[in-house]
């Protein structure tokens, strides 16, 4: 059973709200009304992507018998908010800290890759739902809203996957690369393709391609 401290729950909620706001700004620009309208839509993708990403790290850590806890990084939150006004999000609001006297590169790599894998799976799930709902989105406002939520969810999660797999500093990619370069290459390649398709084609074109339209 995964256990949480009160401070951990607080930090997760704060990080979730701020990161959601950052992605809303990126998607809606600097228009306050547009940001407020986009925020609930973005929160679904970010909520699933950010929270489950961190829970992936926590679950695998605790599977190996370690205590793991998410802690907020206030400077990272501020930096994420600042970068969002320039059209991208440096999404490093905090991290799951695993407490261990000793940990092999393999275990550290497996704990680290859990989060990006969650984002890759979520991106695929979101685009699959978008494809399933697409035909009815032309005559149903509910279906159209679900499609938009899934399109944003696909975009956010593919980005979170590739961002966290970058072998920079204390990001997940550095630890995965230290463990197994082959697994890192395959994983970041998948995340990179998903992100590139999101940025160049857009969700609707991807869905139309999937459906053969």
Active site residue 54: yes
Residue 132 is encoded by which pair of tokens?
A: 């399933």
DSSP 135: G
Whole-number Å distance between alpha carbons of 201 and 67: 42
DSSP 123-183: HHHHHHHHHHHGGGGGT-HHHHHHHHHHHHHHHHHHHHHHHHTS-STTSHHHHHHHH-HHH
- The helix (run of H) or strand (run of E) holding residue 14 is helix 6-28
DSSP 95: E
Catalytic residue, chosen from 54, 69, 106, 204, is 54
Give me the active site residues, please.
54
């Amino acid at each position: 059973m995964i256990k949480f401290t009160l401070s951990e729950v607080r930090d997760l909620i704060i990080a979730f709200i701020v990161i959601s706001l950052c992605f809303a700004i990126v998607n809606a620009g600097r228009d306050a009304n547009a940001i407020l309208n986009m925020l609930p839509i973005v929160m679904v993708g970010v909520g699933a992507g950010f929270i489950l990403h961190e829970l992936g790290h926590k679950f695998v850590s605790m599977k190996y018998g370690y205590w793991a806890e998410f802690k907020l990084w206030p400077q990272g939150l501020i930096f994420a908010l600042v970068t969002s006004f320039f059209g991208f999000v440096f999404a490093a609001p905090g991290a799951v800290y695993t407490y261990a006297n000793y940990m092999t590169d393999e275990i550290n790599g497996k704990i680290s890759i859990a989060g990006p894998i969650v984002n890759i799976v979520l991106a695929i799930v979101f685009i699959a739902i978008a494809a399933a709902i697409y035909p009815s989105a032309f005559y149903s406002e509910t279906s159209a809203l679900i499609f938009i939520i899934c399109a944003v969810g696909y975009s956010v999660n593919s980005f979170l996957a590739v961002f966290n797999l970058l072998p920079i500093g204390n990001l997940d990619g550095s630890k995965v690369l230290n463990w197994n370069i082959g697994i890192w290459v395959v994983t970041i390649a998948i995340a990179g393709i998903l992100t590139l398709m999101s940025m160049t084609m857009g969700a609707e074109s991807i869905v139309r391609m999937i459906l053969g339209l």
